[in-house]
A and B are shown apart, each in its own frame.
Chain A
Amino acid sequence: MARQNRQKKKSGRDWKSLRQAPTRKPGTRIAWWRRAKIRFHTVALCLAGTCGFAFLVVAVSYFTSNPLEVNLAGPSGTVDVIDFQTNGSLGKAWAVKTLDIPKETRLMDLNLHALKKRIESEGQVSSVILQRRYPHMLRIKVTEHLPILKIYIADPELGKKCLLVSESGVVFEGIGQPEQMVGGLPILFGGKLLKDSEGFLPLKVVSKIKPLLDAARKKYPHIFRDWNRIRYESLEGQDALVGLVRINSPLAKEVIFSTEMDFMTQLERLDYVLNYSNREGWTPLSLVDLPGRKSATVRLSGEMPRTIIGQSQLF
């Protein structure tokens, strides 16, 4: 290297010793445009690369956490196994009976659409997914309506019957539901139960009392547990927003809630009234009328109504 340097020094300068500065200010407008174009392309390329990389990261993380279920078609045999999965009380026996698949039917020959319709015709079923698992298995994944209320009907066709009501108002028979659970459900009164060719229509009234039931179940389960009858009374016709909810329980023969007032406030009042009444030995109460402006009205059994003033002027 030293020899090369010495040789270069001795032999004089060549043109390559001149400093070139191609990144300096462009000499003409054409050069300026060219540089701007190159920079724009570079930035666009970087952005596209970054977006692509980000998409890749998101896609990889998504598919890692939600792996794709790949169904590979293989040899198709007879349906020997039914894999039944549900979130409710329906059982595999019910599914086998409902589907009624003839013996020796090949998995590939199943009409999944028809089978799906058959299962969904049962009111208790919210949705169903049917999958072929080659070579012999039919997988059924059912999502059921879960009951929150029950109703008693006297139908000319069905006779006297107890039906269950889901939180979306769907009325169904309640196949396989444990008796103890059904017995603990409050009975719903009021509201009009309509029927068409496919069965009962959803009860609209449920949507009005559902917030009360949710709040009571979540915040005051000890109170909710005792509710055995719930009645909704519309004040201005069937579809009006404002109505009263009348509830019967062992501690208070009748508790009145109003949909016009916040249910949580009314539940707080009820909790206070019941606690107070228990301490005073007044239970069971005859009536608790909760939606007063600043107070709740309580009527003791066989006495005149009286007003209870809360400690924190809550009422």
Chain B
Amino acid sequence: MSRNKIIGAVEIGTSKVLVLVAELVDGKSLNLIGFGRKPSAGIKKGEIIDFKYASRVTHAAIDEAEKSAGVNIDSIYLALSGGHLGGSFNKGSAQVSSHDGRVVEQDTLRAIEDAKSKRLPDKRLYIHHIRNPFLLDKKSVKSPIGMQGEMLEVGFWSVHGDESTIGNYLHVVNGFGLEVDDMIISSICSGEAVVFPATKEMGALVVDIGRGTTDYALFRNGNIIRTGVVCVGGDHLTNDLSMGLRISPKEAEELKKREGSLDAEKLVPGSKAKVMLRGDYTIGDREIPFQSIYKILQARVEELFQIIKSDLGELLDTDDLAGRVVLTGGSSQLTGIDETAARVLGMQVEMGELPNWVDESLRVPGNSTVLGLLRYASNHHNLNAVTSQNSGFLGKLRSIFKPKRLEVA
């Protein structure tokens, strides 16, 4: 019997709350049917600072999306970001137990159990355990079962976050009468949207520059090996311009959008090129040296990429990473940011492109997280559908006659 599920992808960001509604037909195809967007309130650097305002804008966005779709959402997938997110790489190992030295399922489970056994400090909760490839006698293998070896190792990149912050996000959605089916960190979502599988195999660093935070995820051999959040975003650029040029934050935001550029070609040494503050030649409008804007923005953006480079350390070794840096997010639209990224990170940089199945009006870098979230949700739903087939009497009966499926990570 066919069953169409209505899923909602929600991103509660610092600048906006985005909601996409999609119809999942028979767990296979995804139809985008609704969209809601509201300017954010009560959120700072990816964390809720005013529950009431955050609830109000989130509910308004979900309501708008439901109305545009003409249906009620069944379940919510939520993108998570913020400085509270952290991660740790946990390794586990197990001796191959069979007498002939071939790896069996029990060995993989023991290695996984060992890797996941690391406890978190109080008030921290795991969000994802992202499995890296198995190592059999230090050699990377995709599926070790049946292979010969002595020592099996596996590593997990485990993302965790603050319990109360995560709880706040859940309660905002619960307050609308919906339950959060899954929670995915923003960098993984953006990676789903803008990086092709082939690029992930080659290795790629996805950097999603938002308004309050910058999320990144490092892919190698098709796996996510590291994620992170830097609490620097478009707001910091605005703030720097406001402070540096002694203008209001509103004027700084408009100036950044209109004249903000990191394009070095525009900057001739000793140039006295000037731009107008507001551009409307009204009272209070004045000339500002372009060089000042450039320098302020350049300093902050360089700092941002330096932090990412520093966080990733040896993982960013370009010998291992044949791929490229993919920039996305609303603040990645700053002219010349790709050149700065390439210079600091020492890698080829490209701007993320959203897939063709997305409507033209939605194909903007600021929507990459929520679109990737939806894509993740559809894949995840399929996995759930497979596992749920084995529940219940009929499912158990079916599982008796089916070969067992190894589920790791």
- Give me the interface of A with B, judged by CB distance under 8 Å: 3, 7, 10-15, 17-18, 20-24, 26-28, 30-31, 34-35, 38
List B residues 98-121 near A (Cβ within 8 Å).
109, 113, 116-120
In the bound assembly, the distance between CA atoms of A21 and B174 in angstroms comes to 6
In the bound assembly, the distance between CA atoms of A11 and B117 in angstroms comes to 4
Cβ contact within 8 Å between A27 and B127:
no
The residue from A7, A17, A22, A30 contacting B63, defined by CB atoms under 8 A apart:
A30
Among the 9-residue stretches B9-17, B176-184, B247-255, B270-278, the one with 4 or more Cβ atoms under 8 Å from chain A is: B176-184
| 7 interchain residue pairs of minimum CB distance | A27-B175, A11-B116, A14-B126, A30-B59, A27-B55, A12-B120, A22-B174
Decide if B56 is an interface residue (CB 8 Å cutoff).
Answer: yes
Cβ contact within 8 Å between B175 and A13:
no
In the bound assembly, the distance between CA atoms of A10 and B117 in angstroms comes to 5
With CB as the reference atom, state the residue of chain A lying closest to B125: A15
List B residues 153-191 near A (Cβ within 8 Å).
161, 163, 166-167, 170-180, 183
Decide if B72 is an interface residue (CB 8 Å cutoff).
Answer: yes
Known A7-B113, A30-B63; contact A22-B166, beta-carbon cutoff 8 A: no
Instruction: Report the count of interface residues on B (CB-CB < 8 A).
Output: 35
Cβ contact within 8 Å between B177 and A23:
yes
Known A-B contacts: A12-B119, A17-B125, A26-B175. Give 14 more (CB < 8 A).
A10-B116, A11-B119, A12-B120, A15-B170, A23-B177, A24-B175, A26-B177, A27-B174, A28-B56, A31-B175, A34-B63, A34-B176, A35-B177, A38-B72
Cβ contact within 8 Å between B163 and A18:
yes
Known A12-B118, A14-B126, A17-B125; contact A24-B166, beta-carbon cutoff 8 A: no
Which residues of chain B have C-beta atoms less than 8 A from A20's C-beta?
A: 170, 174, 179-180
Cβ contact within 8 Å between A10 and B113:
yes
With CB as the reference atom, state the residue of chain B lying closest to A8: B116
- Give me the interface of B with A, judged by CB distance under 8 Å: 55-56, 59-60, 63, 66, 72, 109, 113, 116-120, 124-127, 129, 161, 163, 166-167, 170-180, 183
Cβ contact within 8 Å between A13 and B125:
yes
In the bound assembly, the distance between CA atoms of A14 and B167 in angstroms comes to 12
Interface centre among A14, A17, A23, A27 (most CB of B within 10 A): A27
Chain A min CB distance to B288 (Å): 42
Which residues of chain B have C-beta atoms less than 8 A from A17's C-beta?
A: 125
Which residues of chain A have C-beta atoms less than 8 A from B129's C-beta?
A: 11
Which residues of chain A have C-beta atoms less than 8 A from B109's C-beta?
A: 3
Which residues of chain A have C-beta atoms less than 8 A from B55's C-beta?
A: 27-28, 31
In the bound assembly, the distance between CA atoms of A35 and B174 in angstroms comes to 12
List 9 interface pairs A-B (beta carbons < 8 Å), by A numbering: A11-B113, A12-B126, A15-B126, A18-B125, A18-B170, A22-B177, A27-B55, A28-B56, A34-B176
